[in-house]
Chains A and B, each alone.
Chain A
Amino acid sequence: MFIRMILGALFRQKGKMLMIALTVALGTSLASAMLNVMLDVGNKVNQELKTYGANINVLPQGALLLSDLYGVEQMPDSPDMYLSEEDMIKVKTIFWAHNIVDFTPHLDANATIDGGENTVKVTGTWFQKQLSLPTGEELETGIRQMRSWWAVTGEWLTDDDGGGALIGVAVAEQYGLAVGDEFTLDVQGSSRRFTVRGIVDAGDDEDAQIFIALATMQELTNKAGLISSFEVSALTTPDNDLARRATANPRSLSAREHETWYCTAYVSSICYQIDEVIPDGVAKAIRQVAESEGTILEKTQLLMLLITILSLLGAALGISNLISASVMDRSAEIGLLKALGAHDIPLSWLVLLEILLVGLVGGVVGYFAGLGFAQIIGQTVFGSSIAAAPMVIPLLSVLVMLVIIIGSFPSLRYLLSLRPAEVLHGR
């Protein structure tokens, strides 16, 4: 009979139940969209922040002191001033290999143009290199991905273009070079003619540099298989206290802390792991990018979290509001059932179960609608889909149940406190 009464209420009060289901569905879809977006926003924004370029720079131990110095004469060559190109690929074998988005090598040397007096920094690098990793993974990486802010007039260079060069705007201005012009580079005794394929406006020191393909550079300087540094763009977790302590001194951590640190994608732990696979190199976090990434990520996540809480609160209040209204609405029916001898507890169960059933239907519909909304947001903003976080489902179920119970409780209590006679006489 209990079930028949519930079914009766469900099917014979279609309009009202539909309203509740609709409201629950709206609330849950809002919650599920916001929760899914919030949980994934970190990854998405992290990806976006990769437009700032590399956050880790790997240098040979011996060259550390001098490689970045400008205005200082290059020190004489010594083998420990270079890294091997083969070693570099090993960054894709570290624990956090998956988080390494891009990396690109540099082989730098000073050169003169057309026999002039001033030296210009020439860098051999990858532009858009197709790599087949030993793990079987295919990867396309190079400076083109890592310098999203470069404005190139003319064309980008390709990696097999031995006679082409990209030159900085400052170089182009100084030597009066335009796209299509040819010039001679003298590097460490050997010289070769290059054609200007493109002119780079980088807005920093790189405006005064020349970029050519790595293989050509190695040939010119006679350093087959060697590079002078490489930069890495990695997805990282913002630093916390542990990471800061580890950066200051990795030995200060307990074994357990060390493990946590090692297995979290902090920029310091990724650097540490790169150091492990490249013994003669030192990985340094580029703080301008690494630190700021953390700030922006944290702020965005916090912002989304608060907006999510806000909308969850709104949805919860909306649902409980409607439910208490609809429970109040049934005062006459509840009065009648009480007059017929129903006890408070089964009566409460009747009302609650009804609403829970309706809420369940609304919740399921709402969850999927919310996933849809999340995808719309993901596709429109980030051009990629938002991963559906499984934890949203239990979280939502508990939330919806709580909201329904809390929403119906006060009005239910009020109704039960009424004497049946009063209710039936419409007071």
Chain B
Amino acid sequence: MQAKRSMFYLRTVFASLMRRRSRLLVALLSITIGATILSGLVTIFYDIPRQMGQEFRSYGANMVLLPKGESGTISPEQLEAVRAILPTDDVIGVAPYRYDTIAINDLPFIIAGTDFAGAQAASPFWGITGEWPSGRNQALIGREIANTFRLEPGESVVVSGTNSEGEPFEKTFSVAGIVQTGGQEETFVFISIDDYGAVVGGEVAFDIVEMSVTSSGAGLEELVTAIGQETEGVTAQLVRRVTQSEDTVLSKLQSLVYLVTIVVLMLTMICVATTMMAVVAERRREIGLRKALGATNGSVVLNFLGECLAMGFVGGALGSLLGFGLAQLVSLQVFNRTIDFPLAIVPLTIFSSLVITTLACLLPVRNATKIDPAIVLKGE
């Protein structure tokens, strides 16, 4: 019995959806647009801290490791221990440095042994004329040094000094590139840590390690504490200039996108609601007729609700997929990275579009049901 009623109910809902195609399309289109914008913007909003956090790594290291205690240096083993603590995906670059003083043409400078791949990743703002060193006996020299001695990439530079045994050395490096930073690095000679060991000697150890980690605020503080507790002879320190400022700017950016999302969503949803209302309000006459045929207010509402829910569901489902596509597009355009599909966005989008379509259709339908069937029929 009930099944027969439900079947016919579904049949009329379906018929209305299929046979009023142009109207349906108008309503569905507007729901889909709304849902697309909703799911797209919310996805972008949730992805902003991660994506922007990556961009902020262009400011370079936000954490430095310093030796603690007697040794005065950080051994590669200690560095490994620290790396084990950090989530691998979050580490953008690790640049260990070992310093000594040397002379070029009797003028004093500083030589730094490092891992070039790590330095490049940790300090993306370094401006390099020429190439990053790729083999042995190649050096990256600061711009001040290059200017002083009129050195160009491809030429060679003779470095002299005293090694760890106290014996003088002299070594020729080919200049792979010239580094420009606007800071003290412009008076440094950078060589690979292997070359450093061969020339200056001593065991492999570092004076300081710069790290660029995609984490901010409390997360970063936790990592610092964890490193301090779990590794011996190493303390981690935040580069306040980078971390503080990043927190400030990032929180502004996030609240910007947040507000923009709210405004856009609010207006879009009202827009969807008005369109839905217009589409439903057109059918006042039909509501009158149904009432004249003996429909109770409840059953009229139920009929329209069925249609609206169906459209809300389809629109929401379509929109959540399209929205992800949009967010993906934006992410690719802006950040050059893909984003993961946040599954939670699908039920969220569908739920919101169901709520909005329901509200938008209940209002005019309720208004229409208040109308006397006689008056509706009399008109046209």
Contacts and interface: CB of A to CB of B under 8 A. Distances in A.
A291 B22 CA distance: 53
A292 interface: yes
A287 interface: yes
A306 B334 contact: yes
A314 B187 contact: no
Contacts of A26: 267, 270-271, 274
Contacts of A27: 267, 271
A87 to B, nearest CB: 20
A299 B270 contact: no
Interface in A59-75: 64-66, 68-72
B199 interface: no
Interface stretch (B6-14, B26-34, B355-363): B26-34
Given A318-B30, A318-B268, A53 B241 contact: yes
Residue in B40, B180, B268 whose Cβ sees the most chain A Cβ within 10 Å: B268
Interface stretch (A94-102, A126-134, A200-208): A200-208
B110 A318 contact: no
Contact of B127 (A16, A150, A291, A306): A291
B108 interface: yes
B238 interface: yes
Nearest to B55: A299
A376 B259 contact: yes
A66 B26 CA distance: 72
B330 A303 contact: yes
A204 B23 CA distance: 65
A33 B261 CA distance: 12
B33 A318 contact: yes
A286 B183 contact: yes
Given A29-B267, A204-B241, A299-B334, A285 B59 contact: no
B34 to A, nearest CB: 8
B81 interface: no
B140 interface: no
B277 to A, nearest CB: 7
A53 B242 CA distance: 10
Contact of B249 (A15, A23, A296): A296
Interface in B25-51: 26, 29-30, 33-34, 36-37, 40-41, 44, 48
A55 to B, nearest CB: 8
A151 B244 CA distance: 10
Given A51-B244, A148-B244, A303-B330, A315 B259 contact: no
A129 B109 CA distance: 36
B271 A52 contact: no
A30 B263 contact: yes
A306 B333 contact: yes
Contacts of B144: 64-65
7 contacts: A65-B148, A69-B184, A149-B241, A287-B182, A295-B58, A303-B48, A304-B260
Interface of B: 22-23, 26, 29-30, 33-34, 36-37, 40-41, 44, 48, 52, 55-56, 58-60, 99, 101, 107-110, 123-127, 129, 144, 148, 180-184, 186-187, 237-245, 248-249, 252-253, 255-257, 259-260, 263-264, 267-268, 270-272, 274-275, 277-279, 281-282, 326, 329-330, 333-335
Q: Which 8 A-B pairs have the closest CB atoms?
A: A203-B240, A149-B244, A286-B182, A318-B271, A291-B125, A68-B184, A30-B267, A292-B58
